[in-house]
Amino acid sequence: MRNIGHELGEHSVLITPTVKHVAPPLAPLKADDRLFAALNLETLALTMPGSFLDMPGIATPSGVDRDGLPTSLLFSVPQGHDDRLLRTCLAVERMLQARQFH
């Protein structure tokens, strides 16, 4: 397998949705083990590649959907670049906070 750092580039950060959906109602999941398992696989679909590739990641709030449920983005970098990940997420947080007050 090729090194993900080579594929991303020296200063790149991979940004994806954290999950494919917003938080589902809990009651149906508690009542149906198959539904829980299926939704759990769907929930992990976007985060598992980073786990398998040993890529650190940070999920940050990104807004809400049309029903007002929270959404988030996952920022990931190759192994060993944690400082870049933290700097990137702090810069995005500052930018979003500045826009919120203007």
pLDDT in tens, the chain (102 residues): 455 556 777 788 999 999 999 999 999 999 999 999 999 999 999 999 888 889 999 999 888 999 999 999 999 999 899 999 999 999 998 988 887 665
User: How much is the pLDDT for 19?
Assistant: 93
How would you write 11-61 as a 3-class SS string? Answer: CCCEEEECCCCCCCCHHHHHHCHHHHHHHHHHHHCCCHHHHHCCCCEEEEE
**Angle, CA of 78, 13 and 92, to the nearest 5°:** 130
Given a contact cutoff of 8 angstroms between Cβ atoms, the answer to whether 53 and 3 are in contact is no
DSSP one-letter code for 81? -
Q: Which residue matches tokens 């959404």? A: 71
Specify the pTM. Answer: 0.80
Query: What is the distance, to the nearest Å, from the Cα of residue 81 to the centroid of all Cα atoms in its chain?
Result: 17
- pLDDT score at 63: 87
pLDDT at 57: 95
Distance CA 97, CA 34 (A): 41
Q: What is the pLDDT of residue 62?
A: 87
Q: What is the pLDDT of residue 1?
A: 46
